[in-house]
């Protein structure tokens, strides 16, 4: 991986990815804005380090020698655009580990530019959204007449500092679902339902996960919702978030929350990385006949999976530049639905669905504006 630049390499997840790349025999170049952090990391890993400022006019010159860039610096809504713009100019493939649906949608809209430049735009090569994207593609292959896709996620993993800061960035923004091919803004916690992640039905609530964009690209399905396991009281708390969204969007509030995050969070420790786990659930439904298919995918700790999947994806892009499609891609459209099963500790199962199953989602009442 001598041709890979890892930007934001000294953040929690970036460190995991850089270490994984070196452990696999690669020599990535680590990069970011903090010169001292870059130098310490480069010395520790025995690789080259570069100070890269996304606002610099010299950004393109930093990327010219690289075949691919892996962006690990969130919030990605701030970092993806300048990196992608530079990659289009230097004909450098772009990958990242975002889960932010606005970033996926922005990159999707640059598909034609990327095809013209002959590069691949491949966001979401971590836990967001490799497992869910591959499961969505698997279900669509298994049940090609499906019209509606629902995905669910359950994890016992803690948050990294970068993930927490990204959540703060989007506080007060509400949720999103896909309906008939369009992204629809909805209140936070728009719907709830019971989902069996493997140990019986559990309460789950809708979240603005990136699959509302990526799964549509991978499967062609035009109605998509994504849920996360949450206790029953979560919907009530999320309604409170909706009512004070104007406050959460204010700069001083976000700055205060980010200071708390920086002081208290780094990410899961070694034991948590080794023992943590997650489950991704999926359901595809033919709206005309009611026929459906369900499946579950079990994974290791999301951050451990991200380190492995990001490096594996970068390796595939670098090794198969003539076989990985140009333009906007998702993990499943680039590598197929089986890609996730090549990662350590993943296991997929198709769930039998009884004919009398009436487990339909329930809607949280929404007051008219």
pLDDT tier at 161, thresholds 50, 70, 90: very low
Q: Is the pLDDT of residue 261 over 60?
A: no
Query: Which of the two residues, 368 and 105, has the higher pLDDT score?
Result: 105
Query: Which of the two residues, 247 and 200, has the higher pLDDT score?
Result: 200
pLDDT of residue 104: 97
Please tell me whether residue 183 adopts helix, strand or coil conformation.
strand
Q: Is the pLDDT of residue 1 over 90?
A: no
pLDDT digits (tens, 9 = 90+) for 170-202: 444 578 999 999 999 988 778 889 999 999 999
pLDDT of residue 368: 33
Cis bond leading into 23, ω under 30°? no
Q: Is the pLDDT of residue 316 over 80?
A: yes
Task: Provide the CB-side half-sphere exposure for 327 (13 A, CA).
Answer: 9
pLDDT of residue 317: 96
pLDDT tier at 240, thresholds 50, 70, 90: low
Q: Is the pLDDT of residue 351 over 60?
A: yes
d(CA 330, CA 218): 7
* Mean pLDDT (the chain, rounded): 85
pLDDT of residue 164: 40
Q: What is the pTM of this model?
A: 0.87
pLDDT of residue 205: 86
Question: DSSP labels for 204-257?
Answer: EEE--BTHHHHHHHHH--SEEEEEEE--TTHHHHHHHHHHTHHHHTSHHHHHHH
Q: Is the pLDDT of residue 6 over 80?
A: yes
Nearest alpha carbon to residue 133 among 221, 61, 245: 221
pLDDT of residue 260: 45
Nearest alpha carbon to residue 32 among 17, 351, 20: 17
pLDDT digits (tens, 9 = 90+) for 30-56: 999 999 999 999 999 999 999 999 998
Q: Is the pLDDT of residue 259 over 90?
A: no
pLDDT of residue 228: 87
Mean pLDDT to the nearest integer, 220-248: 68
Which domains does the chain possess? 4-127+303-336 (3.40.50.720), 130-301+345-363 (3.30.360.10)
């Amino acid at each position: 991986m001598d041709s890979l630049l890892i930007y934001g390499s000294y953040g929690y997840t970036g460190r995991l990815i850089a270490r994984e790349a070196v452990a696999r025999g690669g020599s990535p170049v680590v990069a970011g804005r903090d010169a001292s952090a870059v130098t310490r990391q480069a010395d520790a890993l025995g690789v080259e380090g570069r100070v890269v400022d996304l606002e610099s006019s010299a950004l393109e010159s930093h990327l010219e020698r690289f075949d691919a860039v892996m962006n690990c610096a969130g919030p990605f809504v701030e970092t993806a655009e300048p990196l992608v713009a530079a990659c289009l100019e230097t004909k450098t493939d772009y990958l990242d580990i975002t889960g932010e649906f606005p970033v996926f949608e922005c990159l999707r809209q640059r598909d034609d530019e990327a095809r013209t430049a002959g590069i691949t735009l491949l966001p979401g090569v971590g836990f967001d959204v490799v497992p869910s994207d591959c499961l969505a593609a698997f279900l669509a292959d298994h049940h090609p007449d499906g019209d509606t896709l629902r995905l669910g996620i359950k994890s016992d993993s803690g948050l990294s500092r970068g993930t927490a800061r990204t959540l703060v960035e989007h506080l007060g923004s509400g949720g999103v679902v896909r309906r008939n091919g369009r992204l629809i803004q909805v209140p936070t916690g728009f719907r709830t339902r019971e989902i069996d992640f493997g140990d019986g039905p559990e309460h789950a609530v809708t979240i603005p996960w990136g699959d509302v964009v990526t799964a549509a690209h991978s499967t062609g399905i035009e109605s998509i919702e994504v849920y996360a396991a949450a206790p029953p009281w979560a919907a009530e708390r999320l309604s409170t978030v909706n009512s004070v969204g104007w406050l959460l969007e204010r700069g001083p509030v976000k700055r205060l929350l980010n200071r708390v995050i920086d002081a208290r969070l780094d990410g899961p420790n070694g034991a948590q990385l080794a023992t943590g786990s997650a489950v991704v659930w999926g359901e595809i439904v033919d709206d005309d006949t009611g026929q459906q298919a369900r499946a579950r995918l079990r994974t290791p700790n999301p951050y451990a999976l991200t380190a492995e999947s990001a490096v594996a994806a970068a390796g595939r892009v670098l090794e198969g530049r003539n076989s990985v499609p140009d333009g906007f891609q998702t993990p499943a459209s680039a590598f197929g639905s089986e890609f996730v099963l090549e990662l350590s500790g993943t296991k997929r199962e198709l769930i039998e669905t009884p004919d009398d199953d009436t487990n339909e989602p329930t809607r949280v009442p929404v007051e008219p504006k």
